[in-house]
Amino acid sequence: MNDSTVWWLVTGVLVAAELMSGTFYLLMLAIGALAAALAAHLGAGLTTQLVTAAVVGGLAVVLWRQKSLRRETQGPTELHLDIGETVQVNTWDADGTAQVKHRGANWTAVCSSSTTPAPGPHRIQAIQGSRLVLEKI
């Protein structure tokens, strides 16, 4: 069995393991194995194949991790599509909450300001658990 066949088998095993784990990191290592298989097809030696697999796979893992960290540090407006949407508040309860209908469901809403909330159109400023935080428009 030649080197490229071994690398293609390693790539397949990594992809199969990725399908069972769902982390995407094994897929990044499979990209490195794929690069090593291509290097083997080009006639590179075993050392070059191993270095290619390590560099490409390692770089793919680092880049995926960087992307994951950027996604985790995004603000709430970038993560939730409801922020910025408008809802209609008919009445506010004595405890400072209101029941509003948004996307066909009833939500409990609270006012973001410390002033007395007033009925009318409001914009969703944030979502805290299952409550909408509203600001008067």
Each residue's pLDDT tens digit, 83-133: 888 999 999 988 888 999 988 889 999 988 766 788 889 999 888 888 899
Q: Read out DSSP for 70-82?
A: HHHT--HHHH-TT
Each residue's pLDDT tens digit, 7-58: 999 999 999 999 999 888 999 999 999 999 999 999 999 999 999 999 999 9
Name the residue type at position 101. K
**Partner residues linked to 105 by β-bridges:** 102
CB 31 within 8 A of CB 77: no
The region, left, alpha or beta by phi > 0 then psi within -120 to 50, assigned to residue 75 is: beta
∠129-130-136 over CA atoms, to 5°? 100
